[in-house]
Amino acid sequence: TLTVRNSDFIAAAKMQGASPLRIVLFHIAPLCTSSLIVRLTLDMAGIILTAAGLGFLGLGAQPPIPEWGAMVSSGRAFLLDQWWVATIPGIAIFVVSLGFNLLGDGLRDVLDPKQRR
């Protein structure tokens, strides 16, 4: 961003003769890694739900490969007699998505530089 680009520590690094690659790797990248890690963990729940939805519609991995969405889709036929065939993969999708959301929320609390004292 422009605020980081025009900040004093970047100007000081340039005055000391640091190359642009060194400035990016050692001064800017450490500022971005915490938010990148939090963003990835929070996005994993959406990625899992998207993959399960595509598998449910038959657009995901093909049948020899186990996938939660395909398991839920194939378990719909047995829902009245054997409810666990479709329910267990659905619970797994829910638990893993919730786990990634809670992990991302916890990492945001730990890694947020604005909340440090």
Look at residue 24 and tell me if it is in a domain.
no
- Summarised one tens digit per residue, pLDDT across range 58-92 is 998 887 888 999 999 999 889 889 999 999 999 99
Look at residue 59 and tell me if it is in a domain.
yes
Look at residue 71 and tell me if it is in a domain.
yes
Look at residue 5 and tell me if it is in a domain.
no
Measured between alpha carbons, how far is 35 from 107 in angstroms, rounded to an integer? 9
Q: How confident is the model at residue 99 (pLDDT cuts 50, 70, 90)?
A: very high
Judge contact between 72 and 66, C-beta under 8 A. no
> Is a pLDDT exceeding 70 seen at residue 1?
no
Look at residue 116 and tell me if it is in a domain.
no
As for how many domains the chain has, the answer is 1
Range of the domain at 56: 33-111
Look at residue 1 and tell me if it is in a domain.
no
| Average pLDDT of the residues of the chain | 88
CA neighbours within 13 Å on the CB side: how many for 95? 7
Mean pLDDT of 41-53: 93
Look at residue 61 and tell me if it is in a domain.
yes
What is the pTM (predicted TM-score) of this model?
A: 0.76
Position 61 scores a pLDDT of 84
